[in-house]
Amino acid sequence: MGERNVFAVIVFLFAIMANQGHAQDAAPADTHHCHRKVFPVDTQYIERDVNRMMVEYFIDNRGYSFELKSSANNGNYLVRWTPNVAGVHGFRFSYRSLTIGVGFKLPLSEFNARNYGNTDYSNLTVAFNKPKIALLGSWRRYRGMVDLNSPDYMPPYAYYKQADLTAGSLTLKGSYIFSPERFSYKAAYIYTERQLRSAGSWLLSGAFNLSRLRGDSSMVPAPIRSNFGENGGLQEIQRLYLGMGGGYAHTFVYQHFQLSLLLNLGLALQPMRYYLMQSSRWQAANQISLYSDLGASFSYNRPQWYIALQGQVFNDGFRIDDNISGNTSQLWFSFKVGWRPLAPAFVRRGEDFFFHTLQKLNPFKNKKK
């Protein structure tokens, strides 16, 4: 899909939205057949329509990088691996509490792929959101990377590429919202609701991440491998990240414009192990570090459609030994166009069946005496 087709998709979505009009009648009553508790919210602050679903097209710019630093041999050497992913396009679908998103990478130009290599990319996200609880799970995989620090040791205009270097990540993030009556996490970052007045909430948050970076050979480029000492044969790193903390989120509202800011801080436990080729053995390292989560969203949010810009910064460092340290960072920006039509009957019936099945299987369900 080329750039013209991408813009054609966006124009098509805008045409659909325009046909929906800009006015909205009072939200219809819940048409679901299963009895369920509805969390009460202040309708002067939050607008919710349980009969609507969300369909979204997004364009992401994911700035993932993995750095290794060495002070061995009285030097200061840096490797900065990053995938060659100019942009990720995809779709998200949401109904009531469940959101599913799939992303894919567009083909690169011949010049880009020849100079910076080609990266295979896969991504799946699943979110579950209730007024008091926000959960986000994601799986992400990159295969094929380029060292952006290559100009320090390669000929001019040449970059060191490693097609077999693969990064995989499984992440689960959660937040507990202390003031869900007036602050909507869904309106701020999922866009299935609307925040009508400015409001905020304190948060209790946590993050779990299981990641692996592995190559068929050493992940330290051959021209500078000797500068990393006995760790020059580093082939694989496996890390577990457990973070816990708290913070605050706030949405500022002016007419249909929304600006949402989020900051969480805490501590993280990072057990890890790494494999050295020359000794053919695994070694372990553990540390405690700062847990931080910073997010922002700016949107124009109409009753039946929205346009949004969203960004998030995640950064965590680690240390292998006295000479080798590393850092994983993600600077993520996303452009989103979404539409909230009435959910078709088959979607509502399917959700009714799913919810009714969960009710039957719930061992903690209160029984009438």
- In this predicted model, what pLDDT tens digit does every residue of 148-196 receive, in sequence order? 888 888 888 788 999 999 999 999 999 999 999 999 999 999 999 999 9
Q: What is the pLDDT of residue 369?
A: 44
Q: What is the pLDDT of residue 336?
A: 95
| Residue 64 token pair | 């993932």
For residues 216-234, average pLDDT: 87
Residue 68: count of CB within 10 angstroms of its CB: 24
In the numeric block, the tokens 């469940």 are attached to 98
Query: Which comes out higher in pLDDT, residue 52 or 198?
Result: 198
For residues 271-292, average pLDDT: 88
pLDDT band per the 50, 70, 90 thresholds, residue 366 = low
For residues 282-302, average pLDDT: 90
DSSP 226: G
pLDDT band per the 50, 70, 90 thresholds, residue 367 = low
User: Strand pairing of 53-70 and 305-319?
Assistant: unpaired
Burial of 365 (0-12, 13-18, 19+ CB in 10 A): exposed
Residues 6 or more apart whose Cβ sits within 8 Å of residue 314: 292, 293, 294, 329, 330, 332
Q: Supply the mean pLDDT for the chain.
A: 84
For residues 15-39, average pLDDT: 49
Residues 6 or more apart whose Cβ sits within 8 Å of residue 184: 41, 45, 46, 48, 131, 193, 194, 195, 251
Residue 43: count of CB within 10 angstroms of its CB: 10
Burial of 220 (0-12, 13-18, 19+ CB in 10 A): buried
Burial of 250 (0-12, 13-18, 19+ CB in 10 A): middle
CA distance 177 to 142: 33
pLDDT band per the 50, 70, 90 thresholds, residue 127 = very high
In order of 86, 197, 215, 283, the CA distances from 120 in angstroms are 12, 43, 14, 29
Q: What are phi and psi of 355, to 5 degrees?
A: -65, -40
pLDDT tens digits for range 346-365:
888 877 787 777 777 766 66
Contacts 24+ apart (CB under 8 A), 111-114: 112/84, 112/86, 113/84
